[in-house]
């Protein structure tokens, strides 16, 4: 009887290890493509902003104004994200839990 309990405990520990490994690999599998896309998106957004700043500056005949308009736009975005931070945190947490526990 003790051997059966010992065997059960060993199998249970092995199952927990395999489950943790599977969830870790699932997180890595989701995270790596997201990180690559994020880096590429940052380059794209940076170049787009420089182009837009130059375009607005040329249109306004003052490049400083073009970049100032963009800075104001990003300040508004920062304020919006700050005001919605709790909703964003809940959304990300729920999506992460959903990804981890949906098999």
Residue 93: predicted pLDDT:
87
20-29 long-range contacts (CB < 8 A, ≥24 apart) are 23/100, 26/99, 26/100, 27/99, 27/100
Q: pTM, whole model, 2 decimals? A: 0.61
State the 10-residue block means of pLDDT for the chain, 103 residues long. Answer: 84 89 83 93 95 95 94 96 94 82 69
């Amino acid at each position: 009887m003790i051997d059966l309990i010992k065997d059960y405990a060993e199998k249970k520990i092995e199952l927990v290890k395999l489950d943790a490994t599977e969830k870790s690999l699932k997180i890595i599998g989701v995270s790596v493509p997201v990180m690559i896309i994020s880096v590429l998106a940052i380059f794209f957004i940076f170049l787009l902003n420089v182009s837009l700043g130059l375009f607005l500056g040329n249109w306004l005949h003052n490049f400083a104004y073009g970049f100032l308009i963009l800075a104001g736009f990003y300040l508004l975005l920062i304020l919006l994200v700050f005001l919605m931070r709790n909703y964003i945190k809940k959304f990300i947490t729920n999506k992460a839990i959903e990804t981890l526990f949906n098999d």
